[in-house]
Amino acid sequence: MHGAWQVVHGILAFGPGFSLGVEGRATPALGYLLDGGSLVGWKLRPVKPGVLAVVEEGSTMGQGHPDQWLGYLSQCGTAPGTGPALVGGMPLDTPIVVAGRRFTLADLLAQAQHDIRPAQEATWTLMALSAWLPIDAAWTAGDGRRWTTEDVVAMEADADIFSAACGGAHRLYGLAVALAAHRAAGNADSGGWAAASAVLDDAIDRARRFQQADGGFSVHSFERPGSSPDVFAQLSATGHVFEVLAVALDDDQLAEPWVTRAADRLVTLLERTADVDVECGALYHAAHGLALY
């Protein structure tokens, strides 16, 4: 049985072309959800000032992290641009039906801005902020605290990487897309942006140093070297790390031999697992990384 967690990850990788079986027919999954379709784990509700996506920690069907749906919806139109990959394709005024009422993705973003608090996990929130708002955006949260996108970047850069979801890959991805947007606007790195740059530079160096002889990445991701005979562990680690690199590296870096070796290895892992069931997160993050690359 597939729930929202699996389907949204598929949308991240394949965008509007990803299909879902509805009453025996292949149906575009993104359009189905935006039109108010029902799916286990897809729990949205109207609140003030916008739309809330319910967090179900530990769920294998629902949203496991704050703003995870929002973050991935902000990325599902991602395509390579000039230099680092930048987001495009899905406008913030895209309609979404919740509880029979028409809203837009802007209502989910407004709720995320309202709900943000110090020290929270803001990985997916940052993806959405970077995709849809001017990089110098500022707002007031529901508790009266003033925020900027740089504040969120600084908070995420200061948070622990290795204990974060999927070995820190998603936190690093969020920082990478934010930093790419910041630099694309012609800004120099300082403050929170400089902190993010330092975190990413360290992660890139670790990925390269811990790379395996076959071109794949460590099964311990960015934390330490490590290998495993488990092809699924290899796919998950290499796919997640590669997805980060696809947005964190510039065009010249992406052409370096160690990166092309990783891309080749990732394709090989996907080919080796083509006829077996694969954990959706591993599969779709690998596919998304290759699509960006």
Q: pLDDT tens-digit profile of 96-125?
A: 999 999 999 999 999 999 999 999 999 999
pLDDT at 81 over 50: no
Residue 88 has pLDDT above 60, yes or no: no
The mean pLDDT of the chain is 94
pLDDT of residue 59: 85
Per-residue confidence (pLDDT) for residue 80, from 0 to 100: 39
Q: How confident is the model at residue 2 (pLDDT cuts 50, 70, 90)?
A: confident
The predicted structure's pLDDT at residue 87: 46
Residue 82 has a pLDDT of 32
Q: What is the pLDDT of residues 171-190, one digit of tens each?
A: 999 999 999 999 999 999 99
What pLDDT digit, counting tens, does each position of 49-77 carry?
A: 999 999 999 888 999 999 999 999 999 86
DSSP character for 17? G
List all residues 6 or more positions away from 189 whose beta carbon is below 8 Å from its beta carbon.
179, 182, 183, 196, 197
Q: 281 is written with which tokens?
A: 């997160």
CA-nearest of 247, 241, 240, 245 to 279 is: 240
For residue range 130-153, list pLDDT tens digits in order: 999 999 999 999 999 999 999 999
Residue 233 CA: distances (Å) to CA of 76, 261, 268, 279: 25, 18, 14, 10
CA 227 – CA 230 distance, rounded (Å): 9
200 closest CA partner among 156, 166, 257, 164:
156
**Measured over all CA atoms, what is the biggest interatomic distance in the chain, rounded to whole angstroms?**
54
- Whether the per-residue pLDDT at 79 is higher than 60: the answer is no
- Tens of pLDDT, residue by residue over 233-266, are 999 999 999 999 999 999 999 999 999 999 999 9
